[in-house]
Structure 1
Amino acid sequence: MFTVNGVAGEVGFQIVKELLIRGVSSDDILAISHDVPPLGGSIDDVKELGVQVREADLTKPDGLNDVFAGTTQLMLLPYIGLENFEPNTDENLQRNRNALNAAKAAGATWVGYISGLGAQDTNADIFAAHKVTENLIKSMFPDSFTFLRAGLQAERYLTTVFQGGLDSNQVFGLARDGQVSAIARADLASAAGQILVTHPHAGASFELAGETPFTEADFAKFATDQLGQPVEFVEVSEADYRALISIETDDVEAGLALELACRDGRLKSDSKDLRTLLGRTPVTVPEVLQAFVDQSQNQ
């Protein structure tokens, strides 16, 4: 059985849809919802797809064996906080560990893991949780895993950089010249769905990144083009950035660390792995922005 966790989030939900598109029977798909608030999706939307849905508290190992029962292939979506990049925390890592232990007990023979660019970068705390989880998977499922090291999700810029909504004329950040290779959630889900169904690359790692690196100043230009009105990038101090992101997240330090990683170019990649897996050109950030604008104007 193909198992996907974190299905109340947009990426997990889209992966389940990708499995159905690729011909997997709904009876052979297990969708697991976490004990955390949905991130861009709804568990009711998943249930409407006709797949098996089970809910789980990944912080509590008791009962998880029953939740993961029947799993043969698992696509593990981490719950490690802000945009999949956050310092190593015991609780977040324990969620991953508990899910892997339950999948192992169920007889899973392969695990895919949505990791992050720079997961093995020992000098960056925001990648620590990914590094520890990858190493755990290697020890539990030797040569029976695939790591999808994904770049920053392009949609992040719609919610955390584009602060003021469609009427805003400013975007704020620290990373004026830092280039980012962002990936659209739909592309990430499509690549994950393909790997989950075929997993021909056991023991392999892929860097999934957009092919047009951009800066936050570039994003302001994208917004100007799509909205038809001037949008300015405003570089702010670390103190002001802390204040801005405190509105959206309780983990201000993680958000700041992520922004600094963008500024330093740690989330830029020249990899063509995403194009190879998709068999097409990846979606660009301007295209993501245009879709967001169109949807907002039609509501």
Structure 2
Amino acid sequence: MIGVTGATGQLGHLVIEHLLKTTAANQIVALVRNPQKASALKELGVEVREADYAKPDTLSSAFSGLDKLLLVSSSEVGQRATQHQNVIDAAKAAGVQLLAYTSILHADTSPLALAKEHVATETYLREADVPYVVLRNGWYTENYLASVAPALENQAFIGAAGNGKISSATRNDFAQAAAVVLTSSEPQVGKVYELSGDESYTLADLCAILSEESGNTIPYVNMPEEDYAKALESAGIPAPFAAILADSDAGASQGALFDDSHVLSKLIGRPTTALRPLVKAAL
């Protein structure tokens, strides 16, 4: 039995779709915070159970009978470490034989503020003596594609990544990797996968593709981190999240989002999704 947390989220749902290609639906459990929002998952034939990271009492019964569990990292920055510890404790008590955790690329050396809670979770995993595998996911290409529309509207793509190269991949690429690891016949305990896209690009490179495909000249405007955060706030993004995004861009300028190991494409058995077709689709 394989359980997937955060199954109503974008990544978790995709993982289940990939699992269904090789695994019977009655061997998959969708773990969700609100079962009432999981009708689409029920239609896929998988079992739906309530599992709220912040409510430990929901986790023990949710994990009952599971052999493998995918812990999709919480979206609640600042509360992640505690929430993840709740999941790890419940998985250990339930006798889960493999816990896969979605961390961040090069977590142990990353300058990104986002890495702190991932490092805390990885440390807790080791100390809890739970059989685990770590999926250190790189940046989602979708994070930057979300800026295509405002870039066209404002005739400029803003950021704070400088000339830093970004080795992003799609959620679908990362989801397939998680499904491969969860269903692999090879031992996975103790492995740490650094997962990134095959193609590395700067935001100026992204703007060149965007300009070619849209027929508009869209320059990349690099900004100081603080100014970029303020610009995001003025666009309606809450200040704490704007600060995280700006910090991530600044980290990219230091190489935090770059990796050329091609572990992800080797794991999924195909090249990761190319940038240009994604820009076309976004347009």
Matching of residues 150-169 of structure 1 within 5 Å: 150-159=137-146, 161-162=147-148, 164=150, 167-169=153-155
Give, in whole Å, the separation in 2 of the partners of 1:5 and 1:196. Answer: 13
Letter of the structure 2 residue corresponding to residue 238 of structure 1: E
Letter of the structure 2 residue corresponding to residue 55 of structure 1: E
Give, in whole Å, the separation in 1 of the partners of 2:137 and 2:220. Answer: 26
**Shift of the alpha carbon at 1:31?**
0.7
**Shift of the alpha carbon at 1:269?**
0.6
- Bigger mean CA offset, 270-279 vs 187-196: 270-279
SS of match in other structure, 1:155: helix
Correspondence for 1:222 among 209, 220, 224: 209
**Counterpart position of 1:62:** 57
CA root-mean-square deviation: 2.0
**Counterpart position of 2:243:** 253
Matching of residues 129-278 of structure 1 within 5 Å: 129-141=117-129, 144-159=131-146, 161-162=147-148, 164=150, 167-198=153-184, 200=186, 201-246=188-233, 247-251=236-240, 252-278=242-268
**Counterpart position of 1:285:** 275
**Shift of the alpha carbon at 1:206?**
1.2
Distance 1:8 1:180, change over 3 A: same
Cα contact 1:153–1:182 (8 A) shared by 2: yes
Give, in whole Å, the separation in 2 of the partners of 1:250 and 1:32. Answer: 30
SS of match in other structure, 1:206: strand
Letter of the structure 1 residue corresponding to residue 264 of structure 2: L
Distance 1:182 1:191, change over 3 A: same
Structure 2 gap ranges (5+): none
**Counterpart position of 2:24:** 25
SS of match in other structure, 1:241: helix
SS of match in other structure, 2:272: coil
**Shift of the alpha carbon at 1:249?**
3.8
Letter of the structure 1 residue corresponding to residue 179 of structure 2: G
Give, in whole Å, the separation in 2 of the partners of 1:33 and 1:193. Answer: 18
Cα contact 2:161–2:252 (8 A) shared by 1: yes
Give, in whole Å, the separation in 1 of the partners of 2:166 and 2:97. Answer: 34
User: C-alpha deviations, 1:35-78, integer Å up to 9, x for none?
Assistant: 6xxxxxx6333222121112332112123211222221011111
**Shift of the alpha carbon at 1:227?**
2.1
Give, in whole Å, the separation in 1 of the partners of 2:203 and 2:273. Answer: 18
Matching of residues 101-112 of structure 1 within 5 Å: 101-112=89-100
**Shift of the alpha carbon at 1:168?**
5.0
User: C-alpha deviations, 1:166-203, integer Å up to 9, x for none?
Assistant: 55532111113111111111110111101011162321
Letter of the structure 1 residue corresponding to residue 68 of structure 2: Q
Distance 1:17 1:167, change over 3 A: same
SS of match in other structure, 2:270: coil
Letter of the structure 2 residue corresponding to residue 208 of structure 1: L
Distance 1:27 1:120, change over 3 A: same
Cα contact 1:148–1:192 (8 A) shared by 2: yes
Cα contact 1:163–1:171 (8 A) shared by 2: no
Cα contact 2:51–2:62 (8 A) shared by 1: yes
State the TM-score, normalized to the length of structure 1. Answer: 0.86
User: C-alpha deviations, 1:66-114, integer Å up to 9, x for none?
Assistant: 1222221011111145xxxx6xx3x211111111112222220111111
Cα contact 1:162–1:170 (8 A) shared by 2: no
